[in-house]
Amino acid sequence: MTGDWIFLTCLWIVSAVIILAGFWPVSQERLARWSARFDVRLSAETASWVRSRLRWARSVRWVAFAVGVNLSALPMYMNVIDESRAGSFSNPLTSSSVFLAPTIGALVAELLIVQRPTGERSAVLIRRRSQDY
């Protein structure tokens, strides 16, 4: 029982760090990579709009990941609360929530939050890396 509490405490601490890190500001380098990826020249006002959208999209993705990890640990939560009911929460949906929640979070972030601004397009001659995508 003590091991379950230690695991849950570590899980909550890691989840809090992941959620807080998702709200960290978007760097100028990340903004430049986004601009190069979509071939959009960013003005000062557009850059602040894109930066806030990217930040919210990242936070939605990371919160969804933390929710998925915590949902997958639901049988362990129940093992701490009531050992006789812990098996009831061990099902395929709970075990696959670690994959489903981040996928849904990524879809929501891409479809509802991140929207490519229309404006002057520009060709940029820079070497693209795998991290840009």
Read off the pLDDT of residues 2-55 as tens digits, 9 standing for 90 and up: 777 788 888 889 889 988 988 888 888 888 888 877 777 777 788 888 888 888
What does the DSSP 8-state code read for residue 113? I
Does residue 111 register a pLDDT over 80?
yes
Give the residue, 122 or 69, on which the prediction is more confident.
69
Reading the block at residue 122, the tokens are 């520009």
What pTM does this model have?
Answer: 0.70
Q: Count H helices, E strands: the chain?
A: 5, 0
Percent of the chain with pLDDT over 90: 5
Reading the block at residue 44, the tokens are 């000062």
